[in-house]
C-alpha cells in the first residue's frame, strides 16, 4: 500500500507553552482514515493518546486546541494554589 501525505503545521500557544501541530493531509492512497486530515496526539501532558480527524486542516487544528485547552485547564485546577500562606 502506498499513500501520499502533505503536512500542515500550526503554532498555537496554550498558557505559557507554544505547541507545533503537525496535521497530515491524505493526498493519495487508500488509508482507512476518518477524514482527509488527521493529527495524532501522543499521550502526555494531561492528554490521552488520540487521533483527531476532520475535513479541513483548520478544523483539525481547532479541535486539537480545544483538547489541549481542556487538559491545560484541568491540570491548572489540580495544581496547588500559588497564594501566600497566612
24-68 pLDDT, tens digit per residue, is: 999 998 778 888 999 998 887 666 899 999 999 999 999 999 988
How many domains in the chain? 1
Domain limits for position 22: 4-78
| Cα gap 83→1, rounded to integer Å | 57
Whether 42 maps to a domain, the answer reads yes
Whether 84 maps to a domain, the answer reads no
For position 4, what pLDDT does the model report?
92
Whether 24 maps to a domain, the answer reads yes
Whether 34 maps to a domain, the answer reads yes
For position 84, what pLDDT does the model report?
46
Amino acid at each position: 500500500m502506498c499513500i501520499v501525505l502533505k503536512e500542515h503545521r500550526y503554532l498555537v500557544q496554550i498558557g505559557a507553552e507554544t505547541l507545533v501541530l503537525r496535521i497530515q493531509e491524505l493526498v493519495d492512497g487508500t488509508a482507512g482514515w476518518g477524514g482527509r486530515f488527521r493529527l495524532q496526539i501522543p499521550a502526555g501532558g494531561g492528554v490521552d493518546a488520540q487521533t483527531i480527524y476532520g475535513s479541513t486542516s483548520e478544523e483539525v487544528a481547532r479541535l486539537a486546541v480545544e483538547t489541549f485547552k481542556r487538559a491545560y485547564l484541568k491540570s491548572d485546577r489540580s495544581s496547588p494554589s500559588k497564594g501566600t500562606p497566612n
